[in-house]
Amino acid sequence: MVQTFNPWRAATCVLMLSLLGIVLHTFGDYGMSWDEYYRNVEGGKKLAYYQDAFAGHWKPYDNNEDLYPGFYDLLHQGLNLLQPCGPGELGLVFTDHLLTAIFGLLTILAAYKVGRQLGGERTGFLAALFLALFPHFYGHMFINPKDIPFACMYLWSVYYTLKLIASPLTPGFVARLAIVYGLTLGVRLGGIFFFGFMGIAFALRLFLKRHEGQLIKKGLSYLGLCILIAIGAFLVLLPWWPFAHPNPLGTLIHGLGRVANYPWNGPVFFNGKTYAAIDLPWFYLPEMLLVTTPLFILGASLAGILIAARNLWKKLPVERFRYFTADRLCVFFVAFSLFFPIAAVILKHATLYDGIRHFLFVLGPWAALAALAAGKLWDGLQEEFRKKPTLSLKLLRFALPASAVIFVLNMALEYRVMHPYQYVYFNSLVGTETRAWNSFDTEYWGTCHREAVELLSQHLARAKDHKVYKVTSPMAPWLVEDFLPSNMVYTVDWREADFFISFLRYNADMWSDGAVMEDCVVYRHGAILAIVRDRRKIIAAQRNGGAKGHTTSMVSGMLLDLLPDLN
């Protein structure tokens, strides 16, 4: 059967190919993030585990603190064996950026699939576009090896669970569902709540078949499928989690307990105040989602809520149970996959930090729902205009697509200006990044250290200064040392450093003395992300007169020892 040309499907193909081209062109522009080092280390251990096992020298995996199964880690290490981005540490880092970006593209593809399931090709295209235009999602696509892979597998799990509501239950579909669930667990154990989602989907399926009879028989068969899928998913998980091999079930229970009560209580900068992570107000996550989402998507979301409430108010009393069609139950399920995790962490008062980065996975369902709402809004406007073609409706018919085009162009410009720190974005509700950097954590990943190194190198080149200098930073040396040119060497002793490079988190830029070099400040939209301090005069004074550096350097060393593990 020959498929007819669909402009929305064609637009989706153009979008995906364009994004692929942008990814291949820009993935090497991003600095190294905090977590990449830890994932690289743990991934190397997992790879060594299998290399030893296949060489006949098997021994138990020795890291009982690694809570993350290794689906992404092992893929990354395996890909790096081919050295697609070159040898050495930087080759490993850029391979990580490339693979994470591929997972990001697969997430956007999943958004298209979910959107198409909800409202056809147009909704699918808009869902993919909206997710790509979430700045925090796009920016993390290149530097977040934990949350982007999970967001990807989460959305694919949503898609296949969505199909469970009304699609035929063939053996192939059941196998795919088990594989997707298993790989979601293989990225992060939090994916286990999809077994609850699966139960909800089967319950909705049973509701839709309530007139066919034999509900008990169907319910028991669905229960059996749930057990079968859960076992299959667990078997898919195991190869990616070496630590669980000696005691799979016990390790799973232990890991879930650790994940549910993650022991991190560092400082979080929120609304101009510093909180301990466990003492953040309940609205931390909702507010961060609100102020980091583009206003157009917020507007489409609000329109969707109003449209849904209006339909519910008008039709539910009349149609009663007939109101809950398969299409509406699918929308309900996607909304549940968006709101349930947010509500759960609020009620549990779970540990949160780093803005929305642990909840990037809810942006996919959000994009699909906002896309559906935008389409419904346009269809409603068209219908009203056909009934009553007034001037105001005619203007609205022009204003809605015009505002959508302006939104896309504005976000494209924003991405270009913010590159490669798109994840620092804040909307105008808090004054954009220009004002938000004084009230919120912004550049918490530390990727800006790379640009600070480049600015310092350019400064020295302009001065024709070819001496070899010692450079230091307040924490995570790998954020700096992997990008140092030949005339700079890294030192862990801050008192002997000629230059101090730091981002602004934890006021780390104040942990050393030395003058801030104005031409080496990393900033976007007026938001300062990193600075370089020149300590050469201080070092010269120490050498000539035995003077010591400012005590701030000594204090900062003690502060570093007191900081919790930020992994």
Q: Within this chain, do residues 460 and 357 fall inside the same structural domain, yes or no?
A: no
Domain that holds residue 265: 7-372
User: What's the pLDDT at 263?
Assistant: 67
For residue 268, the SS3 value is strand
Task: Indicate the residue among 372, 397, 412 that finishes a domain.
Answer: 372
SS (H, E, C) 269-285: EECCEEEEHHHCCCCHH
Task: Indicate the residue among 372, 395, 423 that finishes a domain.
Answer: 372
Q: Within this chain, do residues 164 and 304 fall inside the same structural domain, yes or no?
A: yes
Q: Within this chain, do residues 366 and 459 fall inside the same structural domain, yes or no?
A: no
Characterize the bridge pairing of strands 527-534 and 515-516. Answer: antiparallel
Q: Within this chain, do residues 84 and 224 fall inside the same structural domain, yes or no?
A: yes
Tens-of-pLDDT digits for all 567 residues of the chain? 566 889 999 999 999 999 999 999 999 999 999 889 989 999 999 999 999 999 988 888 877 667 679 999 999 999 999 999 999 999 999 999 999 999 999 999 999 999 999 999 999 999 999 999 999 999 999 999 999 999 999 999 999 999 999 899 999 999 999 999 999 999 999 899 999 999 999 999 999 998 888 899 999 999 999 999 999 999 999 999 998 888 888 888 877 777 766 667 889 999 999 999 999 999 999 999 999 999 999 999 999 999 999 999 999 999 888 889 999 999 999 999 999 999 999 999 888 999 999 999 999 999 999 999 999 999 998 888 888 888 888 888 888 899 999 999 999 999 999 999 999 999 999 999 999 999 999 999 999 999 999 999 999 999 999 999 999 999 889 999 999 999 999 999 989 999 999 999 999 999 999 999 999 999 999 999 999 999 999 999 988 876 444 444 434 443 444 343 433
Q: Within this chain, do residues 351 and 462 fall inside the same structural domain, yes or no?
A: no
Q: Within this chain, do residues 455 and 349 fall inside the same structural domain, yes or no?
A: no
**How many domains is the chain partitioned into structurally?**
2
b/e map 126-165, b = 16+ CB within 10 Å:
bbbbbbbbbbbbbbbbbbbbbbbbbbbbbbbbbbbbbbbb
Sequence-separated (6 or more) residues with CB below 8 Å from residue 400 = 377, 378, 381
**Which residue(s) pair with 268 in the sheet?**
275
Specify if 158 maps to a domain: yes
Contact 243, 251 (CB under 8 A): yes
Contact 523, 509 (CB under 8 A): no
Specify if 552 maps to a domain: yes
Q: Within this chain, do residues 368 and 483 fall inside the same structural domain, yes or no?
A: no
Q: Within this chain, do residues 348 and 482 fall inside the same structural domain, yes or no?
A: no
pTM given for the model: 0.93
Q: Within this chain, do residues 328 and 223 fall inside the same structural domain, yes or no?
A: yes
* Length reported for the chain: 567
Q: Within this chain, do residues 251 and 355 fall inside the same structural domain, yes or no?
A: yes
Q: Which helix (H) or strand (E) holds 501?
A: strand 499-503
Specify if 415 maps to a domain: no
Q: Within this chain, do residues 509 and 365 fall inside the same structural domain, yes or no?
A: no
Helices (H), 213-325: 215-237, 248-260, 284-291, 295-319
Helices (H), 463-562: 478-481, 536-545, 551-562
User: What's the pLDDT at 64?
Assistant: 67
Specify if 402 maps to a domain: no
Q: Within this chain, do residues 457 and 352 fall inside the same structural domain, yes or no?
A: no
Q: How far is CA 359 from the centre of its chain?
A: 7
User: What's the pLDDT at 58?
Assistant: 84
| φ, ψ (nearest 5 deg) of residue 516 | -70, 130
**Which residue(s) pair with 523 in the sheet?**
528
Task: Indicate the residue among 372, 405, 420 that finishes a domain.
Answer: 372
Contact 127, 117 (CB under 8 A): no
Specify if 378 maps to a domain: no
Specify if 435 maps to a domain: no
Specify if 528 maps to a domain: yes
Calpha distance 249→229 (Å, rounded):
16
* DSSP one-letter code for 161: H
Determine the residue type at 336: F
b/e map 324-339, b = 16+ CB within 10 Å:
eeeeebbbebbbbbbe
Characterize the bridge pairing of strands 469-472 and 488-490. Answer: parallel
The distance in angstroms from the start CA to the end CA of the chain is 52
Specify if 189 maps to a domain: yes
